[in-house]
Amino acid sequence: MEKLTLIKVGGKIVEEQEALSRLLASFAAIPGRKVLVHGGGRSATAMAARLGIESRMVGGRRITDRPMLEVVTMVYGGLVNKNIVAGLQALGVNALGMTGADMNILLSDKRPVQEVDYGYVGDVRRVDGAALSGLIEMGVVPVIAPLTHDGKGSMLNTNADTMAGETAKALASRYDVSLVYCFEKRGVLRDENDDNSVIAQMTRSQFEDYRAQGIVQGGMIPKLENAFDAIRHGVREVVITRADAIGKEHEGTRIVE
């Protein structure tokens, strides 16, 4: 099967122009088929503050009421997404900015209320791999914002790590997929204060041990859970690394069964 690289990028990388420019140059240099999934939470928080809308977080996850849904739809699907697309076009990459509602590529269920009501937050139900691969085979590079829809007319704020993992799984029957999660660190660290303490390879059992010891915590837990789920469903390779290490074989943390 033909190789496809799916990059997920978020955090400061998509919100600081210098870091974004470096990321886009690295992404443009990746040979062959590719997809980019991005976040943009800091930009959404900043825009909400400018509009006088309170940002509420529980356990690192955003509460998305109706006003906040309008903000994230504007920021993720508009400002951040189109800045990335424009940057890629300048580098000769024929990028198409999308949300999950476009072409019905990512359909979600609104998260049910349990201990917390997260509001308009979506849990991915289905990814249309056939529609995405149709675009990819036309030479289009999808750039996907962290928004899905419920099929009933409502947009839903959706975790970008989860969207990247689910999209990689949906494409794994059609391509030899490598999934790369990019963030500010060199990989998963044994000591968060030591950038040289990268865990080069991680199995599921090691992940459980690291979590029990508190080495892996916070937002890294769902990222790793998505990574192991992707491997289990046919994604050939998952790497967690720094954005400027894209394409470097011996950089970052490799996820293995």
Backbone φ, ψ for residue 44 (5° rounding)? -65, -40
Rg value, the chain, Cα: 17
Can you give the CATH number for the domain in which 193 is found? 3.40.1160.10
- pLDDT classification of 107: cutoffs 50, 70, 90: very high
Q: Which residue has the tokens 């204060």?
A: 193
Model pLDDT for residues 29-53, shown as the tens digit of each residue: 999 999 999 999 889 999 999 999 9
59 pLDDT more than 90: no
| Residue 40 marked in a binding site | yes
Tell me what pLDDT residue 249 has: 66
Tell me what pLDDT residue 183 has: 83
| DSSP SS3 for 12 | helix
- pLDDT classification of 72: cutoffs 50, 70, 90: very high
Model pLDDT for residues 136-177, shown as the tens digit of each residue: 999 999 999 999 999 999 999 999 999 999 999 999 999 999
C-alpha distances (whole Å) from 22 to each of 74, 76, 84, 88, 140 are 24, 20, 12, 11, 21
| Residue 157 marked in a binding site | yes
Q: What's the CA gap between 182 and 5, in Å, rounded? A: 12
Q: What percent of the chain has pLDDT over 90?
A: 75
| Token pair recorded at residue 131 | 């529609």
- The predicted model gives 53-69 an average pLDDT of 89
Tell me what pLDDT residue 244 has: 75
Structural domains in the chain (count):
1
66 pLDDT more than 70: yes
Q: What's the CA gap between 27 and 194, in Å, rounded? A: 27
| Residue 32 marked in a binding site | no
Domain limits for position 90? 3-255
Q: What's the CA gap between 56 and 205, in Å, rounded? A: 34
DSSP 8-state code for residue 103: G
| Residue 66 marked in a binding site | no
